Chain A
Amino acid sequence: MTTSDDLPIKSNSDVVLVRQHVRTAAVNVGLSLVDQTKVVTAASELARNALVYAGGGQVRIEIVNNGIRKGLRLAFSDTGPGIPDIPQALTDGWTTGGGLGLGLSGSRRLVDEFDLQSAPGEGTLITVTKWAR
């Protein structure tokens, strides 16, 4: 069973909405409370990144199945300026937006699979997956 849910990210209240949808999906997948909180926090970070650095974007929330386990896959896409130096962006403490610089690198640690595609001028696509244990 695969269900998907597309949400726009255009304002701060959309970030809250994304969080709520991700939480509902995480409960449906059967993630533990700790994993729910982790994936919701990662969603919050990535959604805010899309908002702050690209002026907005969208997220696709998908429930996936690899035959053995169910999982939650989130794809954040934007058409913003893109990331020129990906390894640098994934370094703890590196920020260009006045934050703590842990959003992107921390999100990678919060989820099981993390895929980042980005090039300057071509926007950013980040796909993360969290599997139920």
Chain B
Amino acid sequence: MGVTLSVHADAGRRRIEELLQENEEPVFKRWLEIAGSSSSGHVDRGSLIGQLRELYQAVHQSLGESSDSSDLRGLLAELSRSRARQGFTPTETATVVFGLKEALYEVVENDGSPEALRGFVWFSRVIDELGLFTMESYAAAREKIIIDQAEQLLELSTPVVKLWEGIVAVPLVGTLDSARTQVVMEKLLQTLVDTGSEHAVIDITGVPAVDTQVAQHLLKTVVAARLMGAECVISGIRPQIAHTIVTLGIEFGDIVTKASLADALAHALRQSGIEFVKHRGTRIAVRTVEE
């Protein structure tokens, strides 16, 4: 970069700084207007004013001699994060930053000096950079939310419940991939140890499709449970799943499978020597006879 150019650039930069200082009120008001209209209904005006006031100070500071923008970046990252969490769109978030450019442009136009225009080009580049930074923070925050949710879902979706003394059940819901099967298997095996159960029921009523991978995962879980001395029953095989499994050619071998969880529980109870007897109750019929 030539010396003259950098002198010009410096003059422009100073002019912008002056303009930001002198016209703080009108620029700020216009900025608030732009930022407010893009995110109407989402945010209360009071907190928006507070956020923008802080940002304005930080922008001004970062343009100064020290040119320290770490404060500004921190504020922007915080703004993007909170907006991502509150469900703002990327446009709504970015417009907050880009709005300052538009707000300042009106002042620059009124000023009309070459320094101011030159400075505005530079300022515009700074704002663009900050806008991109905002977008990056926003995307990172969204990504984090998604990862957190996926983890929560993994935790949520794999309960091991006790059906009876010595009988536990795992109701599986949704897609069974390797990660989930791993969690299910670990939880089931641990529960078998903790409760001293000898029977486990894996219920797949909530699994939409059983392909070879799911079947393989199920088989491995059953074999692992067997190694620990527990018998597994797979229940919740719906007609269409049974049809598909047969056509695919998957064989479950000597693993007991049942159509419903109730059948599986009855089977496990029978295996553990518990029998139910149906009592025939005395029925009393009450009838009113109209004369």
- Give A contacts to B, CB under 8 Å: 12, 16, 19, 23, 33-34, 36-38, 40-41, 44-45, 48, 92, 99-100, 102-103, 105-107, 109-110
Contact = CB atoms under 8 A, between A and B. Distances in A.
Contact of A34 (B208, B239, B250): B239
B213 A99 contact: yes
B210 interface: yes
Contact of B213 (A37, A48, A92): A48
Interface string B221-264: 00000000000000000011101100111100000000000000
Given A33-B240, A34-B240, A106-B247, A41 B177 contact: no
Place the interface of chain B in its size category: 20 to 34
Contacts of B211: 41, 44-45, 48, 103
Contacts of A100: 212, 215-216, 250
Contact of A41 (B178, B216, B239, B244): B244
Contacts of B91: none
B175 interface: yes
A14 to B, nearest CB: 12
Contacts, number: 65
B244 A37 contact: yes
A13 to B, nearest CB: 9
Contact of A102 (B178, B208, B239, B250): B250
Majority SS at the chain B contact face: helix
Contact of B248 (A23, A48, A109): A109
Contacts of A37: 209, 240-241, 243-244
Given A16-B175, A100-B215, A103-B212, A38 B243 contact: yes
B249 A102 contact: yes
B240 A106 contact: no
Nearest to B178: A12
A19 B209 contact: yes
B210 A109 contact: no
A125 to B, nearest CB: 21
B145 to A, nearest CB: 16
A40 B243 CA distance: 13
22 contacts: A16-B177, A34-B239, A34-B243, A36-B240, A37-B241, A37-B244, A38-B244, A40-B209, A41-B209, A44-B213, A48-B213, A99-B213, A100-B215, A100-B216, A100-B250, A102-B248, A102-B250, A103-B211, A103-B212, A106-B247, A107-B248, A109-B249
A23 B208 CA distance: 10
A75 to B, nearest CB: 19
Contacts of B248: 41, 45, 102, 106-107, 109-110
Enumerate the 5 nearest inter-chain pairs by beta-carbon distance, A residue then B residue, closest first. Answer: A106-B248, A37-B240, A44-B211, A34-B240, A100-B212
B46 to A, nearest CB: 41
Contacts of A103: 211-212
A37 B211 CA distance: 10
B274 to A, nearest CB: 35
